[in-house]
Copies of this chain bind each other. A is one copy, B any other.
Amino acid sequence: MVEMTQYLLARPHQLIPLTTFAQRYGAAKSSISEDLGIIKEVFEEEGTGELQTLAGAAGGVRYIPKMGKEQALDFVDRLCVKLSEPERILPGGYLYMSDLLGLPGFMQEAGKLFATAFAGKDIDCVMTVETKGIPLAYATGAELNLPVVLVRRDHQVTEGSAVSINYVSGSHKSLHTMTLSRRALKEKSKVLIVDDFMKAGGTIQGMVDLLAEFNATVAGVGVLVESGEVESGQRLLQDYISLATLTAVDAKEKEISVAPGNYFS
């Protein structure tokens, strides 16, 4: 049972035929099924996730990581508390977040939350643009068992032929370039876009435009923190999930206000 638990946990969103377990442990399928029933119960109780069982010859069991409500609220509470620390304020009203983004365990929780939010969607890969969104994209990809596609700012020799587009960063109103290797994304892919921060949404809109060049489509957009200081008319993007909202940064008074994101409302 210990071994089945760890086997399942290491393989999220993968269909495992019961015969795999039966062969590994030399046990009858009926006793495997019984054990899976117990594991399923514990996973559901603890808010670890779901165990889906599919009957029939092509059937088996699939572990779907899902963060329970209680854990999700606990996570977002910790996120908001940490983001509100006044020493995060940088010149220009920017917020230092690299320490949080540097905690693999914290990113795994955020990734699991995105995996919960987008579990029902048909997705081929997770995409982000370098650099700060990368840990979040990998954490999400790990929980969904999906590859991660990295958009670069510059064209690199190690990426082969690539498609470049220009985009307007909403917050700076300045023009930037982003580049994606031709090999990195299959035509017609369904893509989940993930990033660490969104203000007006110019960078994410850039990724959406880049996807069009690959005949690919957006399956969803998830951001860790969104800026609430954007008027809704200015927002380039309407359909997205945020885990936290930065409602105000007062550099003078050294005060930061953070609230749970739209995922929780």
Give the B-binding residues of A (Cβ under 8 A).
Answer: 1-3, 5-6, 9, 38-39, 42-43, 46, 48, 90-92, 94-99, 102-105, 107-108, 125, 130-132, 134-135, 138-139, 141-142, 145-150, 152, 157-160, 181, 183-184
Contacts and interface: CB of A to CB of B under 8 A. Distances in A.
B150 A42 contact: no
- Give 9 nearest A-B pairs by CB, closest first: A104-B142, A2-B42, A104-B141, A5-B5, A102-B148, A102-B147, A130-B131, A134-B134, A2-B5
Contacts of A95: 158
Nearest to A131: B130
Contacts of A3: 42, 46
Contacts of A98: 150, 158-159, 181, 183-184
Contacts of A183: 96, 98-99
A94 B157 CA distance: 7
A150 B131 contact: yes
Nearest to A106: B147
A103 B160 contact: no
A143 to B, nearest CB: 8
B108 A142 contact: yes
A138 B38 contact: no
A102 B91 CA distance: 34
Given A2-B38, A108-B142, 9 more contacts: A1-B2, A6-B46, A90-B159, A98-B181, A99-B183, A102-B141, A102-B148, A138-B138, A138-B139
A147 B107 CA distance: 11
Contact of A96 (B91, B97, B160): B160
Nearest to A108: B142
A159 B96 contact: yes
A159 to B, nearest CB: 6
Contacts of A104: 138-139, 141-142, 145-148
A43 to B, nearest CB: 8
Contacts of A38: 2
A157 B94 CA distance: 7
Nearest to A49: B6
A138 to B, nearest CB: 5
B184 A99 contact: yes
20 contacts: A2-B39, A6-B6, A90-B159, A94-B157, A98-B150, A98-B158, A98-B159, A102-B141, A102-B184, A104-B142, A104-B145, A104-B146, A104-B148, A105-B142, A105-B145, A107-B138, A131-B150, A132-B158, A138-B138, A138-B139
